[in-house]
């Protein structure tokens, strides 16, 4: 019969919006509908066998096939037109389960042998197994009530048009067994669904915890920007990208001037405030593709993808000026700080450690030349360095 399950079973990538996932979910629902049609074919084979044994007339076989095609076709149209998205359950799980019982009941109405009806009833209850994977306890109870109500209508029709087929005790036992089985499946299905709900919640909490752990691994506790570990990962990624698609990326290594004196004069708490303020100042002025983090102590590193040396020099100078304009009223109005920055562009065939070393050398030249300035390191060759304007 119907093969259905909830969309909650579908993994949803965290980096995709709900709108992006709609086509994927709709495609999945169509595939499930295809599985449902296969399940109908299996039941259809049983109906054909019943006809072959002379238990049902040939027209019932055709009616079952037509009914099955119409039902599945209607659900396919609803999904294809996206009309199902208007429903609370876009997968129409409960509706597919309940309606799948109708063609089975029609066949059971034409089965004169009570044992045959009981056997076919087992097939008709298969959709409930799929419901265990999709429905809550309340939904499962509602579907079960529909099954019982439709089964009751079947017996009403038999009592009206074929009363001679009813045999009192046997039919009462069969009906009682059906109701009890439906009740038990509803309770068990609801319990399993509840466990799955708790599992989903725990998986969601676990993903959030893993994301938080990943953040803690990559982020410096004090400043809130990336740490040295993450910086090296990004540099490695940029180097790999450069080997695949030649381009350019540059590194800017900056150091807060006279930071030790500031710490000695105003205390380590003031030093922490300065580090956090500088980090926030730089981070706010970067592109989305740029990477900025604490390299160590009072040193910070900026990774500028798709940026040649001259562009990195301009960016570093803008950073230097922005930091020079910072004020620290919470410490003292007279406090001013500056940074020295060394800039180097990665070149083909160079090790990234060598690029970092050149940026570090340029930084020390900036400090030796009076601090509060930007010095760029030229590519390895005759010229060692060029001072920024």
381: left (phi over 0), alpha (psi -120 to 50) or beta: left
Non-local (6+) Cβ contacts of 319 within 8 A are 252, 254, 281, 282, 285, 302, 339, 341
Angle at 45 between CA 42 and CA 48, to 5 degrees: 155
Find how far residue 76's CA is from the centre of its chain. Answer: 26
Helix (H, G, I), strand (E, B) or coil at 360: helix
Structure tokens belonging to residue 218: 């990559």
Angle at 301 between CA 300 and CA 303, to 5 degrees: 155
- 298 is a catalytic site residue: yes
- Phi and psi at 222, nearest 5°, equal -75, -50
Non-local (6+) Cβ contacts of 97 within 8 A are 1, 2, 4, 127, 128, 130, 131, 143
Set 8, 184, 238, 298: catalytic member: 298
User: Burial letters for 252-285: b for 16+ Cβ neighbours within 10 Å, e otherwise?
Assistant: bbbbbbebeebbeebeeebbebbbebbbeebbee
Asked if residues 43 and 63 have their Cβ atoms less than 8 Å apart, the reply is no
In whole angstroms, give the CA distance from residue 266 to residue 308: 39
Inter-CA distances, 354 with 35, 309, 311, 385, Å: 59, 15, 20, 15
- The residues that are catalytic are 298
């Amino acid at each position: 019969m119907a093969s259905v399950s909830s969309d909650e079973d579908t993994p949803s990538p965290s980096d995709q919006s709900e709108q992006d996932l709609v086509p994927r979910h709709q495609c999945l629902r169509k595939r499930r509908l295809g599985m449902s049609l296969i399940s109908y074919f299996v039941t259809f084979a049983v109906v054909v066998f019943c006809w072959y044994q002379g238990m049902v007339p040939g027209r019932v076989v055709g009616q079952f096939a037509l009914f099955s095609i119409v039902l599945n076709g209607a659900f396919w149209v609803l999904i294809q037109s996206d009309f199902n998205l208007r429903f609370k359950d876009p997968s129409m799980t409960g509706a597919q389960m309940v309606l799948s019982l109708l063609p089975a009941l029609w066949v059971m109405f034409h089965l004169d042998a009570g044992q045959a009806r009981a056997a076919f009833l087992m097939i008709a209850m298969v959709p409930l197994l799929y419901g265990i994977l999709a429905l809550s306890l309340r939904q499962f109870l509602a579907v079960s009530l529909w099954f019982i109500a439709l089964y009751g209508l079947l017996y009403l029709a038999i009592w009206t048009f074929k009363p001679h087929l009813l045999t009192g005790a046997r039919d009462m036992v069969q009906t009682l067994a059906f109701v009890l089985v439906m009740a038990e499946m509803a309770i068990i299905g609801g319990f399993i669904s509840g466990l799955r709900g708790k599992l989903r919640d725990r998986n969601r909490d676990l993903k959030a915890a893993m994301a938080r752990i990943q953040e803690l691994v990559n982020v410096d506790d004090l400043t809130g920007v990336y740490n040295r570990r993450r910086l090296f990962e990004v540099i490695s990624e940029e180097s790999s990208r450069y080997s695949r698609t030649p381009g350019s990326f540059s590194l800017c290594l900056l150091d807060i001037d006279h930071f030790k004196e500031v710490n000695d004069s105003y205390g380590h708490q003031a030093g922490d405030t300065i580090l956090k303020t500088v980090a926030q100042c730089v981070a706010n002025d970067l592109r989305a593709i740029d990477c900025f983090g604490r390299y160590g102590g009072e040193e910070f590193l900026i990774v500028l993808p798709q940026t040649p040396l001259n562009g990195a020099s301009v960016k570093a100078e803008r950073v230097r000026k922005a930091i020079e304009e910072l004020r620290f009223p919470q410490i003292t109005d007279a406090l001013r700080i500056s940074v020295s920055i060394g800039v180097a562009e990665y070149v083909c065939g160079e090790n990234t450690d060598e690029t970092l070393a050149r940026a570090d050398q340029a930084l020390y030249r900036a400090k030796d030349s009076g601090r509060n300035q930007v010095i760029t390191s030229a590519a390895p060759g005759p010229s060692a360095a060029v001072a920024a304007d």
